[in-house]
Amino acid sequence: MRRTRSRPRSVAIWLPRWPIQRLLRDEPELSGRAVVLYESFRGGRRVCAVSQRAAQRGVHIDMPVAEATSLVERHERYVAAHDAAADRAMLEQLAGWCQRFSPLVALDIAEEKGARETAASGPQGLLLDVTGLPSLFGGEGAFARQIVRDFSREGWYVRVALADTAGTAWAMAHYGGGRTAVGRTVADRRSHRGSKLPREVPQIVPAGQSLAALAPLPVAALRLSEATVTRLASLGLITIGQVAELPRAALASRFDEELLRRLDEALGSREEATPAEHAAEPLVAACRFPAPTDRREVLEFAWQDLIDQLCRQLVQRGEGALRLECSLELEAGEPLLISLSTYRPVADARHLKDLLRLRWERQPLDQAAWRIEVSVPLTAPLERRQQTLFDATTTHSGGPGGEFTGQTTQRAVATLIDRLSSRLGREAVLSARLTGDAVPEYASLTRPLSGQRPLRTTARHRSSRQPQQPAKRPAGARPLWLVPRPLRVPVVATVVVAEHEREGTPIRFRLRGTDHVVARCWGPERIETGWWRGAAVRRDYYRVETTTGLRFWLFRCLRQQAWFLHGMFE
């Protein structure tokens, strides 16, 4: 009996606003902000990607950055250089993750070979060869819905289509279902694991129905160059159906080979080469016990041996662990999961054992375990630095005979961060980054120090990725600690000092039932935002020292004519 060959089937997975989604996944604290990403060209900086909120404010792609910033209030916006390398790295990671659905996964790469990768030309999706696979998931409908569900659980918003060819699937994912513009999506909602994202209904084109599905779509759905789309439009050819009805000889004589090639690839008359991404073997080591055991020394010996195995593999790959997970399969109930993160890529088994031991010692174990597994879900290349001639005797400041070198100090700091994160949790050990915003409560962002991929800075982005430099002020002009929200306080101030002001410097104020008398006062320091803000911020800040020696940071809101406490000096 002859076996019938399965008809080719492909899946396209599109992640709308991919640069925005990736950034919000890496920095979830930006959720709700109007995010604007730009690229630098000879003519200046131009917008290349915008979030939904920024688009609602009138910001669009190709707009000059200066014009874009004038449309969005300063406290609401976040402007940064587009990081194409980070986008591609995350998409490659997703390609490996997608091998749960198919062993053949390719990046949706732009047509232009060797061109500079931009937000528009860089890959924003994945292509899967799923020939013969949907039946394993209960059919094509269940298979496509499973893809959408799994991406949604991981915090990604996707549009999925399944068809005979990658070209038709790509067209339906981008233009099918009555949507033809990225601006209509809501892809930049809060993008991190556990969030609830809207789920698109997958587009499924029945076998042999590619032309019928493509006919009403715009010609841009064929993945044509902008020049070809413009020329077709000038001839009144708007849809794929109109193009498909024309004689091939006429198309070949008036257009280059791209048009017919893309049309043939979409309809399946020409095979499309899509180089698959091959993910590295997962870093997992496991041990099964002859009988369930609750002896902690036995379990600890087991996970230590597993860490040794994984670290040998990491060294061979030239990679280090950024996250490590230890899972115990118990006799009853859910597995016990212990996870940890590191500040820098680590392949040192002793260091990882010490970190896991900090968690292990505080982890209750009320059941016996029959299997233990240790995995490394997130890695990064190990940092390799050439030693200098005087590393053994030169201090960080360059003096001879010192106790620590610069690299030794950095390793010590990384070890301290790892131990604190393991003891307190990664969400408790944060780094602060200046945003350049004039309003103090929006002047910085925080993110966990451990468990993050190191930023990969290119020469083109190096200047834009440098941290914002604070304005030069006298020492002690700003407090180290701000209250979470400015706290309104009753203040007695001096008499009017100008016709347009009602009050002058503060004399005394009341805070949490205690009266404070001002002995010395410095200010005012005026902080205000531009005219384009809907609710302009206009504040006069004062540094005050009370008769008891306490120092506070107060401001008077000129718009509300009210006083607020914003910070305290040590």
Shared domain for 183 and 83, answered yes or no, is: yes
* Average pLDDT value over all residues in the chain: 81
pLDDT at 541 over 60: yes
- Looking at residues 69-75, what average pLDDT do you find? 88
Given a contact cutoff of 8 angstroms between Cβ atoms, the answer to whether 322 and 341 are in contact is yes
Inside any domain, residue 252 = no
Shared domain for 415 and 495, answered yes or no, is: no
Given a contact cutoff of 8 angstroms between Cβ atoms, the answer to whether 549 and 555 are in contact is no
For residue 71, give the nearest of 535, 538, 436, 533 by alpha carbon: 533
Q: Is 163 helix (H, G, I), strand (E, B) or coil?
A: strand
pTM for the whole thing?
0.56
Inside any domain, residue 214 = no
Shared domain for 518 and 443, answered yes or no, is: no
Query: How would you write 458-475 as a 3-class SS string?
Result: CHHHHHHHCCCCCCCCCC
Domain span including residue 143: 10-204
pLDDT of residue 501: 52
pLDDT at 97 over 70: yes
Shared domain for 449 and 544, answered yes or no, is: no
Shared domain for 391 and 494, answered yes or no, is: no
Out of 405-419, 444-458, 466-480, 556-570, which region has the weakest mean confidence (pLDDT)?
466-480
pLDDT of residue 117: 54
Q: Is 15 helix (H, G, I), strand (E, B) or coil?
A: coil
Q: Which residue has the higher pLDDT, 389 or 266?
A: 266
Shared domain for 425 and 325, answered yes or no, is: yes
Kindly report the backbone phi and psi dihedral angles of residue 478, in degrees, each rounded to the nearest multiple of 5, phi listed first.
Answer: -125, 140
Inside any domain, residue 244 = no
Structure tokens at 186: 């809501």
Inside any domain, residue 92 = yes
Inside any domain, residue 266 = no
Q: Which residue has the higher pLDDT, 337 or 458?
A: 337
Per-residue pLDDT tens digits for 216-269: 999 999 999 989 999 999 999 999 999 999 999 988 888 888 999 999 999 999
pLDDT bucket at 184, cuts 50 / 70 / 90: very low
Shared domain for 138 and 26, answered yes or no, is: yes
Shared domain for 315 and 443, answered yes or no, is: yes
Shared domain for 21 and 165, answered yes or no, is: yes
pLDDT bucket at 195, cuts 50 / 70 / 90: very low
Shared domain for 424 and 540, answered yes or no, is: no
- Looking at residues 532-551, what average pLDDT do you find? 82
Shared domain for 313 and 417, answered yes or no, is: yes
Per-residue pLDDT tens digits for 25-66: 888 878 888 999 999 887 789 999 999 999 999 999 999 999
Inside any domain, residue 237 = no
Last residue of a domain, one of 456, 490, 512: 456
Kindly report the backbone phi and psi dihedral angles of residue 294, in degrees, each rounded to the nearest multiple of 5, phi listed first.
Answer: -115, 15
Inside any domain, residue 472 = no
| Element at 141 (helix H, strand E) | helix 140-153
- Looking at residues 159-178, what average pLDDT do you find? 91
For the chain, the domain total comes to 3
Inside any domain, residue 305 = yes
Shared domain for 435 and 494, answered yes or no, is: no
Helix residue ranges, H only, 195-295 = 210-214, 226-234, 240-245, 248-254, 257-267
Count Cα neighbours of 541 within 13 Å in the Cβ-side half-sphere: 18
Last residue of a domain, one of 156, 185, 204: 204
Given a contact cutoff of 8 angstroms between Cβ atoms, the answer to whether 123 and 90 are in contact is no
pLDDT of residue 219: 95
